[in-house]
Structure 1
């Protein structure tokens, strides 16, 4: 079987099993890399020794992180389990243990300093990340219909782990959100005038709703600046703003605000959780707002605020 046909077979299997488009891209990247590393041999004729040699190369020569190494191994396990139909057993290398890092958080004055360097939709995205505890994908994929100003709530459709949830809508952001809705409506009306107007949705929804996807309610709150071809169904649509566009503006804002911390979009989610706990919110409420399945994931923020060290005084403080 030609390599291109083999890769298409893997792609088809990923889509049949409803893996996300990002996971599809990632798995295909590592499967291609695995095949090229092993002199373009077919995976059917390769075994544990070849997989172990590849994982060792990633860890020793490329010095990838534990998370990246695990990602590559997941792709290879998928390849052998569902395409080659052979389980990878008795490997010398299992999944690498990821370090338990305490997350970086921002103080309220630091968040304010960064917000002061942003404008328009990039200001609003940052305010939503900090005010609602969104992951960046959740914020960018918000649709008009997901926002309920009357009940002060926002619906998150298929967050991490394909779970739906509701979170709070900060009252102070309602006016800015309504302004952004007007901007999105102008973009949508221009699309309709040119004979387009469909938004991008998962394949199952496209088949279910069809022409209804040209309704304004289905449009993204933060639409992309250009239209594109849908990767599954090939119709012309408008996707949401890409995360790299936001990251570019955030980097500039952090640099201009003179904050010497590593700040990403996810930092605002960490800061949201920490701030709620500092102000007395119940940890299970925070767990629900963040969409964590396991309370232990939420408990990491108790380390950030020093809950387990509350009242403990350093010996040096008694010297002066």
Structure 2
């Protein structure tokens, strides 16, 4: 939160009120949610540079959302923008529900990119740096989000129970997920070499490893292979869930490992799992 307060303020650019940041902090919203809300709300208030924030009404909100639609912003961004605006008027200012009549665009339902097991192995095997290899292994074998890998501490690795504790994950929830034997072996080698102090993965100055560093590791690994898919940290998580489902793991167990609040979120993997289609005979083969 301090990063938002210490930002440089360009002339003429309106920033979120301090009360907005305070409320986000008190409600302990996740960092990614905070970034999204602040960015969306500031885009809204800067759309009306000559109007006081508290003078903006439902008509102004509609006009702003129409502008987003006409400029081809995604449905998810438009919904996030509405949420960020509602947060200010209804949560920060404590006003009654003012914007419930404003239509929401339908949520986009895009299927996730999934790697095959051989592609995952290839990406991990071409990664020679042991720290980088451990990061990729954890993204896949534990189904972790990028932020969850970055927040891991050495004590979170429970080698006796072969579990990993994920603290304060999305929605401020703790959970346990799987620790693979091969990943544990690599982690032990890594720990002896690097001796991390606070976080499991740290930079050269012993600070928490950065999200951009993980993105670079993945980009570098993909370039060493013939894989043409767009691979991100979340692709490994999608692949973990899909492969578990293909192996017959119950959907509720996958939901628990991923930390999803609802099975509806987890059900998307039934649309990409290969065993969903195995019982269907292609008409060309009939």
**Contact 2:15–2:42 (8 Å) recurs in 1:** no
CA spacing shift, 1:87–1:95, aligned 2, 3 Å: farther
Q: Secondary structure at the match of 1:157?
A: strand
CA spacing shift, 1:7–1:226, aligned 2, 3 Å: farther
1:316 paired to 2:284: yes
**Contact 1:131–1:272 (8 Å) recurs in 2:** yes
CA spacing shift, 1:278–1:308, aligned 2, 3 Å: closer
1:223 paired to 2:202: yes
Question: What's the CA shift string for 1:156-177, capped at 9, x where partnerless?
Answer: 1122221111112111122221
CA spacing shift, 1:84–1:40, aligned 2, 3 Å: farther
Q: Secondary structure at the match of 2:203?
A: strand
Of 206, 209, 214 in structure 2, the residue corresponding to residue 246 of structure 1 is 214
Distance 1:134 1:6 in 2: 31
Of 249, 253, 260 in structure 2, the residue corresponding to residue 281 of structure 1 is 249
Distance 1:256 1:92 in 2: 51
2:136 maps to: 126
Task: Give the CA deviation at 1:183.
Answer: 4.5
2:270 maps to: 302
Task: Give the CA deviation at 1:66.
Answer: 1.1
1:157 maps to: 167
Distance 1:281 1:65 in 2: 33
2:51 maps to: 41
How do 1:102-251 residues align onto structure 2 when only pairs under 5 Å count? 102-118=111-127, 119-185=129-195, 188=197, 219-226=198-205, 238=207, 240-251=208-219
2:41 maps to: 31
CA spacing shift, 1:21–1:306, aligned 2, 3 Å: closer
CA spacing shift, 1:226–1:72, aligned 2, 3 Å: farther
TM-score normalised to structure 2 length = 0.87
TM-score normalised to structure 1 length = 0.78
RMSD: 2.3
**Contact 1:69–1:96 (8 Å) recurs in 2:** yes
The unaligned stretches of length 5 or more in structure 2 are 1-12
Task: Give the CA deviation at 1:306.
Answer: 4.3
Of 74, 77, 83 in structure 2, the residue corresponding to residue 68 of structure 1 is 77
Task: Give the CA deviation at 1:281.
Answer: 2.0
Number of residues of Structure 1 aligned to a counterpart in Structure 2 = 274
CA spacing shift, 1:226–1:81, aligned 2, 3 Å: farther
CA spacing shift, 1:32–1:147, aligned 2, 3 Å: same
1:210 maps to: none
Distance 1:308 1:26 in 2: 35
Question: What's the CA shift string for 1:162-218, capped at 9, x where partnerless?
Answer: 111111211112222123333453x53xxxxxxxxxxxxxxxxxxxxxxxxxxxxxx
1:99 maps to: 108
1:77 maps to: 86
Q: Secondary structure at the match of 1:155?
A: strand
| TM superposition outliers: structure 1 runs of 4+ over 3 Å | 3-6, 90-93, 224-227, 306-310
